[in-house]
Structure 1
Amino acid sequence: MAETPALTITQADDRRGSVLSALLPESLTLPPLFLSTSPIAREILQNDIDEQIADEPLPSDSDSDSDTDVASEPPAADDAKLAFHGPTGVVYGCGFSSIPLPGVDRPVPNPREIEESLQAEVSLLRDNGVLPPKQRHGSVVDRVYHHMFNADDIPGHESSLLPADEVTPLLGDVEGDYGAQTPMPKDVHKLWEEAVAAHHLKTTWQREAKTLVGYALPLIVTFLLHYSVTIGSVLAVGRLGMLELGAVNLATMTASITCYVPVQGLATCLDTLCSIAYGSGNKQLVGLQAQRMTVLLWLLMIPIAVVWWFSEPILIALVPEEEIAQMAAAYLRILIIGMPGVAALESAKRFVQSQGLFHITTYALFIGAPVSFLLDWALVFHFGWGFSGAAFAMAITQNLLPLLIAAYVFLFEGSQCWDGLNRKAFRNWGPMIKLALPGMIMVEAQFSVLEILTIAAGQFGPAKFGAQSILVTVTSTSFNIPFPLAIATSTRVANLIGAGLADAAQVTAKVGVVGACIVGTFNLCLFVFLREQIAKVFTPDAEVIAIASQVMLVCACMEIFDALAAVSHGILRGIGRQAIGGYANLFAYYFIALPVGLSTAFALGWELSGLWVGLTAGLAAVSAIELLYLYHANWETAAAQAQSIMRSEDANSELKQHGS
């Protein structure tokens, strides 16, 4: 093991004796982003490699899939420091605030991420004067941009951090994306290491804001497209009546808690397995892992389908409105048709994500989402299938999305990781299940709070139950703005921490928190000023609109804490303290949100408003705990741990290579 480097004494060290630090020690579980590669994941892949070698030699293809190079020589993983940790989980299905995205292990960078890392390094080196700036044409826009995003105006920061003779010889004559002259990747890496060691690299609020916006915007589009499938179903059903609106809410929440969330949680292990297989050059194993998980999920769905088919008496026992329960059970029976697509989609998303092909899922959604809206209109209204038509539209879309991803892969890019159907997909399940269970349990435990609140809302009558459907849909939709911001902040903080730039990571965290406040305020304003118009989009029923509009004022207050909780949890993931966020979530939801929500709803008679007051209180507690912990955290320690573990992992890899 490499020795942990000496830590710099900072102001954070003076706060180590606080009560909060004693209650929430930093010695909790180290981060997946910084941990050595999971032994279970290595066991799974080694078993597959051994079996493959026994049958036939396994080719190792580690050629770069990137269309452009940073310089004339190919990038290497050792040259990728700033963006070493890719934004895993960005193509997950959207969720509510109670669903974190627990990583399982430190991802292996693919060639696209390595190139992005080098580009980011060069950009920051230019900002700090280590490399000459790009050639500028002298326009007003160029000068304003340079002033906003350059670090020269940092107090005490010099315009040139390294002598000219250390930089000039590194510059070649190649015209590239970085200006008139582009250094070789190895030279960029050398300069980067020297600047980090000398504590010369700084960043600005402007640069980090630009970076986070660049990361988050495409994720927002993807997440909103994905959730629009659910929105379309609710919009169509809402035009039929309040009973149908309440039934689709009950059916959707039941489907999520019993199938969608467990499937999503189990599939998280593919983030580790597929990225390691691709990064090690064993590309055929990427397709094998995706096949194995798909088959496993299909088999697990058989008992779930049985429960859905006979769910009517269960739902009647939980919800006093028998007609709503019967309609929800009928909806679930039709959704069984879409089960194979749900499992295949989770595997397909990670299959392309491990190759850095995040855009494929977005392209599929650009087609699938409009088709879903068209199916809702055609089946519900044009052909007169009514409530059942919305369920059939949902099931068809669920099966269509993985087919669209598969078609793109085979027609355009990504097929190099697919070696056809393989009987090995039916073996080696034990380690995969062991690797997947922790993620599923955490996600399931936290999401179940919403199911409990939904069942509680059913006690207040069909009108309030229909309003609850609107509120859940609207708040879940609005969460697709701060949630991508949280992923972007987590990724950027992890990148900077992994590169040893603790000060820069703190700047990013502050920008992320401010961004969360801005996003939360934006959502709050929408909920306050457009609450009646939003409710009218979902239903023409005046009673449901009035109830939803009134309770939406409570949801508006929740939006601030919702955004803060999401981003603060993302920052904790970035510095390797996501265990704190997981425990804080469980505590806040089960010991604050549920008791407060149920007591105010039933004991005080606030009914639906009380349930959302409880959830708001839980989110306020989560954001307060996480932000206080971040204030007292020692970021230098997190950076030192990351550096130490990555160096030890690199040393172990070299020893294995020499030993072989």
Structure 2
Amino acid sequence: MPESPGVFDNPLEHGNDHSRDRRESILSNFLPENLPSSFLETGPIAREILSRDIEECSSSDGEDDDDNAANAPHHHHGSGDNDSTKSGLAQEDAKLAFHPNGVAYGCGFSTVPLPGIDRPVPNPREIEESLAEELSLLRENGIIQESTRPRHGSMVGSIYRVFGHSHEHLHQPQSGPATPLAGPANETTALLDGAGDVERQNTPPPAEIHQLWEEAVAAQKVKTTWQHEVKTLVSYSGPLIATFLLHYSVTIGSVLTVGRLGMLELGAVNLATMTASITCYVPVQGLSTCLDTLCSQAFGSGHKKLVGLQSQRMTWLLWMLMVPIAALWWFSEPVLAALVPDKDTARLAAQYLRILIIGMPGVAAFESGKRFVQSQGLFHATTYTLLIGAPLSFFQNWLFAFHFGWSFAGAAMAMAVTQNLLPLLLMLYVRLFEGMECWGGFSKKAFSNWGPMIKLAFPGMIMIEAQFSVLEVLTISAASFGTAKLAAQSVLVTVTSTAFNIPFPLAIATSTRVANLIGAGLSDAARVTAKVAIVAACVVGAFNLTILAGLRGPIARVFTDNDEVIEIVKRVILVCAVMEVFDSLAAVSHGILRGVGRQAIGGYANLFSYYVVALPVGLSTAFALGWELAGLWVGLTAGLAVVSGLEILYLYNANWELAVLQAEKRMRSEDVNNSERKQSRHEV
């Protein structure tokens, strides 16, 4: 009797010699063999868009694609003085430092699969990071001898080693890597570099490192430890956590402001914010995800000006779509009044939405702008922007709402001004510091080639919209319990969304790390990372649970001084605290599934848990059992418990070796497509 296929098994993707290694899966008889990763294959559509743009730019403007390609990351690696370095690393060799699709979005419960290429094209910074990680693992496994550390304990040297290595890449030009791995010191090497860090002098050149890496992987000599993976996940997720919390602090500032105005205003801002998210912010995020594919491919292929063209085209598309959305917001009061029983709440929510129309252009521009800089590896650009924009948003809330006396309208105006300020700050950073090489100016070509882009972007919008719609249903349901319950719901949504900005970046880091290790053929190391990530998710969930349960009183009083709302929050937040454990597990387990290329499993499990479990259970316990607001959160907790259990069970029964084989097939397919693109470009 033939053995049933494993979870990652596809009989078309491996031979009989691997069949004996397959693990029997209890899920294999219930899952289809070829679940799609999204509604459609995105690779051919992305290639169609880029091919058209390359052809148009080459024929109309005479753009010198060869000059652009000469600066592409896949043509060389290392300093321009070392020929062996130039040929040492090709773009397909950077397997350990890809940025994940979806870094640019992330609030609420965004764990649905979004369309994107299987293997993003690395930029120079990521190639440098990949080489550094190869060197680190080679040293840990004794393949490259550990360099001798300097004996002296100079304070200057210590400070340089701690801060200089981790931040020096921020000042490196895009066309070349950072200097630590460039080879032996010479007469042009800074004195601090040579005297303060012996490790640089003993580091082999990149070509030699990569050759040793390939040999070690082929011989299965590269292993990892849980300590190394902990350090890696912390280094990956730490900056993302800071960026996500900074971004969400803009919303927190608005909620904190209206909470001091009154219970009615606190409930209205929750209704308005959730309505704005469902009708505008979430669709914008979903549509913009196609830039993760297009901008990454354009930058990696050497056609850097096309990065700006793709971002510009998406911005115009989003602005056009916002015209009917703005009309809906302007006349939203009758719609909201029909959904919620309290007419004053509906009136204030509609007022908030009308003012937010002013911020619509900034929302679209910032989403496109984030992809523009991140495709170049400039992740810190968004962080720097938020470091200025987030504090200014708190100041504007105080200024407009209290100092100018605009009250509730002032909080809405502060939000709208901040939404327009963020893309302006990001543009200023690009103009003054780095990233301008990918901007070719405004072009009429941005109004062409929209069809394939919409086809590529639409599935992402549908998937993320489907999941967020559940939260809108729960918010409207909370409004039926009275103004106090709706105000409490505003506090609970803000607190839980803030808490989610810790495990979600961890999930992104896990997805990146697992995908890189799978792509490098290190299934055992990927399994170690997955175990570490699951444990980390439990730790993060326990931490959030402790904070929410232990500080439920102070947390409630931070948002409002209304005693009735405070008591409701203190009671219901205990349910939310338990939910945090399952929320963390669901996010991280989905990140692992994305890493092994099976994000569709997590996506469909999420939709099932929300619509078949969370929504029916929440509505039943809230209305039939009379648990009201607590019942809604019980339903959400049950849904997250189901999805986290399904995903972890799926991963436990997974065959990781077959995931490596599938990744190899995807890489070979992408390499062929890259070669075809290069050939067609030269023919043009």
Q: Could you say which residue in structure 2 is the equivalent of 1:15?
A: 24
Task: Give the letter aligned to residue 201 of structure 1.
Answer: V
Distance across 1 between alignment mates of 2:99 and 2:224? 20
Aligned equivalent of 1:491: 512
Q: Per the alignment, do residues 101 and 352 of structure 1 end up closer, same or farther by CA in structure 2, a change over 3 Å counting? A: farther
Aligned mates of 1:655, 1:345 — CA distance in 2:
33
Match of 1:127 in 2: 140
Is 1:96 paired with 2:111? no
- Give yes or no for the alignment of 1:456 onto 2:477: yes
One-letter code aligned to 2:544: N
One-letter amino acid matched to 2:566: I
Which residue of the other structure, out of 27, 31, 34, is the alignment partner of 2:34?
27
1:247 corresponds to 2:247: no
Q: Is the Cα–Cα contact under 8 Å of residues 81 and 498 in structure 1 kept in the other structure?
A: no
Distance apart, 1:30 and its partner CA? 5.2
Q: How many Å separate the matches in 2 of 1:83 and 1:273?
A: 21
Matched residue type, 2:93: A
Unaligned runs of 5+ in 1: 141-169
Cross-structure match for 1:323: 344
Which residues in structure 2 correspond to 1:577-588 (within 5 Å)? Answer: 577-588=598-609
Correspondence 1:131-210 to 2 at 5 A:
131-137=144-150, 173-174=184-185, 179-210=200-231
Whole-Å separation in 2 of the counterparts to 1:289 and 1:171: 33
Q: Distance in 2 between matches of 1:263 and 1:656?
A: 30
Partner of 1:427: 448
Q: Is contact 1:104-1:439 (8 Å) kept?
A: no
Q: Which amino acid aligns with 1:601?
A: A
Distance, in Å, in 2 between the alignment partners of 1:334 and 1:257 is: 17
Output the CA distance in 2 between the equivalents of 1:656 and 1:226. Answer: 37
- Normalised to the residue count of structure 2, the TM-score between the two structures is 0.87
Shift of 1:428: 0.9
Task: Encode CA deviations 1:324-374: one digit per residue, 9 max, x unaligned.
Answer: 001000000000000000000000000001100010010000000010000
- The alpha carbon displacement at 1:134 in A equals 2.2
In structure 2, what is the Cα distance between the partners aligned to 1:648 and 1:178? 38
The answer on whether the counterparts of 2:241 and 2:501 sit within 8 Å (CA) in structure 1 is yes
- The 1:652/1:271 distance shift into structure 2, 3 A limit, reads closer
- Once the two structures are TM-superposed, the CA of residue 51 in structure 1 deviates from its matched residue by 1.1
User: Does the C-alpha gap of structure 1 residues 192 and 5 become closer, same or farther in structure 2, counting only changes over 3 Å?
Assistant: farther
Deviation at 1:643, TM superposition (A): 1.2
> Which residue of the partner structure matches residue 237 of structure 2?
216
| Letter aligned with residue 42 of structure 1 | R
3-state DSSP of counterpart to 1:200: coil
Deviation per residue, 1:410-467 (Å, 9 max, x gap): 1110001111110111111111000000100000000100000000000100001100
> What's the counterpart of residue 652 of structure 2?
631
Change (3 A) 1:467 1:31: closer
Q: Which moved more, 1:606-615 or 1:643-652?
A: 643-652
| 1:235 paired residue among 256, 259, 263 | 256
Cα pair distance change 1:552/1:30, threshold 3 Å? closer
Instruction: State whether residues 70 and 184 of structure 1, in contact with CA within 8 Å, keep that contact through their aligned partners in structure 2.
Output: no
Change (3 A) 1:134 1:324: same
Q: Equivalent of 2:126, from 113, 118, 122? A: 113
CA contact (8 A) 1:108 1:279 kept: yes
SS at structure 1 position matched to 2:480: helix
- C-alpha separation between the residues in 2 aligned to 1:624 and 1:225? 31
* Contact 1:79 1:114 (C-alpha < 8 Å) held by counterparts: no
> What CA distance in whole angstroms lies between the structure 2 residues aligned with 1:515 and 1:44?
40
Letter paired with 1:370: P
| 1:425-574 equivalence runs, <5 A | 425-574=446-595
Q: Please, what is the CA RMSD of the aligned residues?
A: 2.4
Does the aligned pair in 1 maintain the 2:553–2:570 contact within 8 Å?
yes
Contact persistence 1:21–1:632 (CA under 8 A): no
1:28 maps to a residue whose letter is L
User: How many Å separate the matches in 2 of 1:285 and 1:296?
Assistant: 16
User: Could you say if the C-alpha distance between residues 119 and 103 of structure 1 is closer, same or farther in structure 2, counting changes exceeding 3 Å?
Assistant: farther
Conserved in 2, the CA contact under 8 Å of 1:133 and 1:179?
no
Looking at structure 1, the residues matched to 120 and 679 of structure 2 have their Cα atoms a distance apart, in angstroms, of 23
Distance 1:378 1:391, change over 3 A: same
Match of 2:620 among 599, 602, 606: 599
Equivalent in 86, 94, 115 of residue 81 of structure 1: 94
Residue identity matched to 2:35: L
Cα distance, 1:621 vs structure 2 = 0.3
1:309–1:333 Cα contact (<8 Å) kept: yes
One-letter identity of the residue aligned with 1:471? L
- Aligned mates of 1:414, 1:284 — CA distance in 2: 11
2:293, 2:443 → 1: CA distance? 20
Counterpart Cα distance in 1 of 2:613 and 2:644 = 13
- Matched to 1:372, the amino acid is S
Q: Once structures 1 and 2 are overlaid, which stretch shifts more, 641-650 or 203-212? A: 641-650
Distance, in Å, in 2 between the alignment partners of 1:504 and 1:277 is: 31
Q: Which region of structure 1 is more displaced relative to structure 2, 96-105 or 490-499?
A: 96-105
What is the distance in 2 between the residues matched to 1:546 and 1:587? 33
Match of 1:647 among 655, 668, 672: 668
Conservation of the 8 A alpha-carbon contact between 1:70 and 1:119: no
- Secondary structure of the residue that 1:96 maps to in structure 2? coil
- Give the 5 Å matches for 1:63-74: 63=71, 72=82, 73-74=85-86
Please give the alpha-carbon distance, in whole angstroms, between the structure 2 residues aligned to 1:318 and 1:272: 38
Please give the alpha-carbon distance, in whole angstroms, between the structure 1 residues aligned to 2:616 and 2:470.
11
Answer whether contact 1:380 1:389 (CA < 8 A) is retained: yes
State the Cα deviation string for residues 371-410 of structure 1 (Å, max 9, x = none).
0000000111111100000000000000000000001101
Q: TM-score, length-normalised on structure 1?
A: 0.90
**Residue 45 of structure 2 corresponds to which residue in structure 1?**
40
Structure 1 counterpart of 2:394 = 373
**Does structure 1 retain, via aligned residues, the 8 Å contact 2:101–2:116?**
no
1:53, 1:652 → 2: CA distance? Answer: 20
Distance in 2, Cα, partners of 1:111 & 1:7:
39
Q: Secondary structure at the match of 2:405?
A: coil
Q: Is the 8 A contact 2:23 2:655 kept in 1?
A: no
Q: Indicate the residue corresponding to 1:304 in structure 2.
A: 325
Question: Where does structure 2 lack aligned partners over 5 or more consecutive residues?
Answer: 1-11, 154-180, 186-193
**1:53 corresponds to 2:58:** yes
**Change over 3 Å in CA distance of 1:592–1:424 after alignment to 2:** same
Report the Cα offset of residue 190 of structure 1: 1.6
| Counterparts of 1:524 and 1:7, CA distance in 2 | 48
Equivalent residue of 2:29, what SS? helix
Q: Taking every aligned residue pair, what percent have the same amino acid on both sides?
A: 64
Choose 3-12 or 217-226, whichever is displaced more: 3-12
Superposition misfits of 4+ residues, deviation over 6 angstroms: 64-68
AA at the equivalent of 2:644: S
Secondary structure of the structure 1 residue equivalent to 2:28: helix
Residues in 2 aligned to 1:657 and 1:382: alpha-carbon distance in whole angstroms: 59
Tell me by how many angstroms 1:593 deviates.
Answer: 0.2
Aligned-partner Cα distance in 2 for 1:380–1:172: 58
Is contact 2:72–2:302 with CA below 8 Å preserved after alignment?
A: no
**How far is the alpha carbon of 1:99 from its aligned partner?**
4.2
Q: Do the aligned residues in 1 keep the contact of 2:507 with 2:588 (CA within 8 Å)?
A: yes
